[in-house]
């Protein structure tokens, strides 16, 4: 029996309550020792914790993060490059829409799909209320704003309104807002307004309260503006798209994707600037004349006239006085370790944002297998998930509202044999994953298609093209080839191939 057990037995006879208290304390110590090490009080460093709900944290940090992220994009090439890489791989030139409306017997309604696609293309030439952007630019700017600032808002303007000139036959346009337009400090418990967003008791958004003009264009400050109901307008949720980048549940407003790496980006920028200054100083060769500390018989008296030397290649100093010597300031610049240090920092930035290191740093010196592995991992872990998130909150709702307005306005008629449950069906395509070795990857696609592991339509979609458009192009091309009397190696048959 252990000494502690014996002591407890003695205490139990004299003071049972004290014994019970000791037992409870011993149990707590045992449970504490079995807990996560990270939850224990740190011994060598202060504990850093994130306190408060997602809305509290966002409300405190939101405006400062917007401003810092915008500054980094405007002044730091690496920050701009990271956002460029993300936007280029997620959206590219834009999100292409391929309607997939079907008839009641399950076949594609080719004529209706083609009609809607052509109508959408015409509308997409200038769907912005300002008339300055096409649909591709709208999606690129929307994604850029959502990644940099954490969120972006877009109002769907339907029908005819004063000053609005819709493009095409469908009376619909888009109006984009930076997050500054929705006051982050606007709260009203009575109306359920949290950070400018009006919600019901279940947390579903009912409306957005939007400044009538950008608050950065005028004074006074946000807090004064948000207190004046005349300074903003209420836009119902069914007319507003809110694309927000979130890391936590119940988060009303978004957070910049650069937030975890902002400090690192600042440090890289400052360090590079210091190295550049040091290199410029080192490039200016500086010399000095060493003299004896105390005058001696071999030294000459100083005179007041300045002495200058002209430096030339291979020159010999023969004008030195007794006791003098020429020295130069030794420089360790440029720093030979700069590239490795910067590389490690960019890798950390890439890990924090999800952007590809090779593309962010423009470093393509790796082997084929390493580049391929990086590309596949980035594509599956970052680009495709972010594209799905962006499409779900931007291009897809816009397409569904476009089809609805096209039908309501009479711009398109729905044939009676169309399955109306499929009226909003569509494939949304972004840029395809680039090929590192086109020949090997094309042969792999052919092998997978012939083995039945995938379909020809799926391969075409993965390349970022429309299966219907490609099929029509192939039919047209083969017809023209046949009319010209040519036989190509891609044609079937036993004829001699050209």
Is 344 domain-assigned?
no
Write down the pLDDT at residue 495.
Answer: 43
First to last CA, the chain: 97
Write down the pLDDT at residue 152.
Answer: 97
Write down the pLDDT at residue 103.
Answer: 94
pLDDT in tens, 236-293: 999 999 999 998 999 999 999 999 999 999 998 888 888 888 887 777 766 677 777 6
pLDDT in tens, 317-347: 667 777 777 776 666 777 778 888 888 999 8
Considering the domain architecture, whether residues 104 and 19 belong to the same structural domain is answered as no
Considering the domain architecture, whether residues 88 and 225 belong to the same structural domain is answered as yes
Considering the domain architecture, whether residues 80 and 190 belong to the same structural domain is answered as yes
Is 153 domain-assigned?
yes
Range of the domain at 26: 3-39
Considering the domain architecture, whether residues 185 and 246 belong to the same structural domain is answered as yes
Read off the pLDDT of each residue in 144-155 and give the average, rounded to a whole number. Answer: 96
Percent helix, strand, coil in the chain, to 5, is 50, 10, 40
Write down the pLDDT at residue 29.
Answer: 59
pLDDT in tens, 33-82: 555 666 666 666 666 777 788 889 888 888 889 899 999 999 999 999 99
Report which of 252, 253, 265 is spatially closest to residue 353, judged by C-alpha positions.
Answer: 265
pTM for the complete prediction? 0.78
Write down the pLDDT at residue 45.
Answer: 65
Considering the domain architecture, whether residues 120 and 218 belong to the same structural domain is answered as yes
pLDDT in tens, 412-461: 999 999 999 999 999 999 988 777 667 777 888 888 888 888 888 788 87
How many structural domains comprise the chain?
A: 2
**Which token pair is 309?**
């030397």
Report which of 178, 310, 308 is spatially closest to residue 244, judged by C-alpha positions.
Answer: 178
Considering the domain architecture, whether residues 13 and 96 belong to the same structural domain is answered as no
Write down the pLDDT at residue 498.
Answer: 37
Is 371 domain-assigned?
no
Is 273 domain-assigned?
no
Considering the domain architecture, whether residues 18 and 65 belong to the same structural domain is answered as no
Considering the domain architecture, whether residues 106 and 19 belong to the same structural domain is answered as no
Among the ranges 112-116, 213-217, 294-298, 472-476, which has the highest mean pLDDT value?
Answer: 112-116
- Residue 31 reports pLDDT greater than 70: no
Residue 227's pLDDT band, with cuts at 50, 70 and 90, is low
Is 128 domain-assigned?
yes
Is 433 domain-assigned?
no
Write down the pLDDT at residue 326.
Answer: 73
Q: With contact defined as beta carbons under 8 Å apart, do 466 and 98 qualify?
A: yes
Is 243 domain-assigned?
yes
Domain limit, last residue, from 262, 282, 299? 262
Read off the pLDDT of each residue in 131-136 and give the average, rounded to a whole number. Answer: 93
**Which token pair is 373?**
């592995």
Write down the pLDDT at residue 428.
Answer: 94
Domain limit, last residue, from 262, 297, 313? 262
Considering the domain architecture, whether residues 16 and 158 belong to the same structural domain is answered as no
Considering the domain architecture, whether residues 10 and 134 belong to the same structural domain is answered as no
Considering the domain architecture, whether residues 122 and 240 belong to the same structural domain is answered as yes
Residue 497's pLDDT band, with cuts at 50, 70 and 90, is very low
Considering the domain architecture, whether residues 67 and 117 belong to the same structural domain is answered as yes
∠ CA 213-216-220 to the nearest 5 degrees?
90
Is 457 domain-assigned?
no
Distance from CA of residue 23 to its chain's centroid? 54
Q: With contact defined as beta carbons under 8 Å apart, do 249 and 158 qualify?
A: no
∠ CA 87-88-89 to the nearest 5 degrees?
95
Strands 197-199 and 193-194, by their bridges, are antiparallel
pLDDT in tens, 459-488: 887 776 777 778 878 888 888 888 888 877
CB atoms within 10 A of CB 300: 12
Cis bond upstream, residue 325 (ω within 30): no
């Amino acid at each position: 029996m252990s000494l502690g057990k014996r002591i407890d037995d003695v205490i139990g006879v004299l003071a049972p309550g004290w014994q019970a208290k000791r037992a409870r304390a011993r149990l707590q110590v045992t449970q504490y020792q079995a807990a996560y090490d990270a939850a224990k009080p740190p011994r060598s460093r202060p504990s850093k914790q994130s306190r408060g709900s997602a809305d509290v944290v966002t409300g405190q940090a939101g405006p400062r993060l917007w401003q810092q992220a915008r500054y980094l994009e405007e002044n730091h090439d690496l920050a701009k490059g990271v956002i460029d890489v993300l936007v280029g791989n997620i959206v590219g030139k834009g999100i292409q829409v391929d309607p997939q409306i079907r008839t009641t017997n399950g076949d594609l309604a080719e004529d209706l799909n083609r009609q809607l696609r052509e109508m959408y293309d015409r509308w997409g030439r200038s769907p912005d209320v300002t008339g300055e952007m096409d649909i591709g630019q709208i999606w690129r700017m929307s994604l850029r704003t959502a990644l940099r600032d954490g969120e972006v808002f877009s109002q769907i303007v339907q029908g005819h309104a004063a000053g609005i000139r819709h493009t095409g036959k469908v009376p619909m346009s888009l109006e984009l807002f930076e997050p500054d337009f929705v006051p982050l400090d606007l709260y009203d418990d009575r109306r359920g307004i949290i950070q400018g967003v009006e919600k019901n008791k279940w947390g579903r958004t009912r409306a957005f309260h939007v400044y009538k003009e950008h608050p950065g264009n005028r004074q006074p400050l946000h807090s004064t503006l948000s207190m004046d109901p005349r300074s903003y307008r209420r836009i119902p949720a069914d007319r507003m798209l809110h694309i927000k980048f979130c890391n936590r549940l119940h988060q009303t407003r978004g957070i910049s994707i650069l937030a975890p790496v902002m400090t690192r980006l600042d440090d890289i920028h400052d360090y590079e600037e210091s190295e550049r200054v040091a290199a410029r100083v080192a490039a200016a060769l500086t010399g000095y004349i060493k003299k004896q500390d105390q005058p001696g018989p071999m030294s000459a008296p100083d005179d007041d006239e300045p002495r200058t030397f002209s430096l030339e290649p291979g020159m010999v100093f023969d004008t030195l006085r007794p006791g003098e010597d020429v020295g130069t300031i030794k420089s360790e610049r440029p720093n030979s370790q700069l590239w490795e240090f910067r590389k490690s920092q960019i890798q950390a930035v890439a890990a924090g944002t999800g952007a590809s290191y090779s593309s962010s740093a423009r470093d393509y010196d790796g082997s084929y297998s390493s580049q391929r592995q990086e590309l596949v991992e980035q594509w599956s872990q970052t680009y495709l998930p972010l594209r799905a998130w962006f499409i779900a909150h931007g291009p897809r709702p816009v397409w569904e509202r476009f089809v609805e307005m096209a039908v309501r306005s009479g711009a398109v008629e729905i044939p009676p044999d169309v399955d109306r449950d499929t009226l909003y069906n569509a494939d949304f395509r972004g840029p395809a994953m680039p090929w590192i070795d086109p020949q090997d990857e094309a042969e792999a696609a052919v092998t997978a298609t012939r083995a039945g592991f995938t379909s020809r339509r799926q391969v075409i979609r993965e390349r970022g093209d429309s299966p219907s458009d490609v099929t029509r192009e192939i039919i047209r091309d083969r017809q023209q080839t046949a009319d010209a009397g040519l036989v190509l190696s891609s044609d079937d048959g036993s004829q001699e191939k050209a």
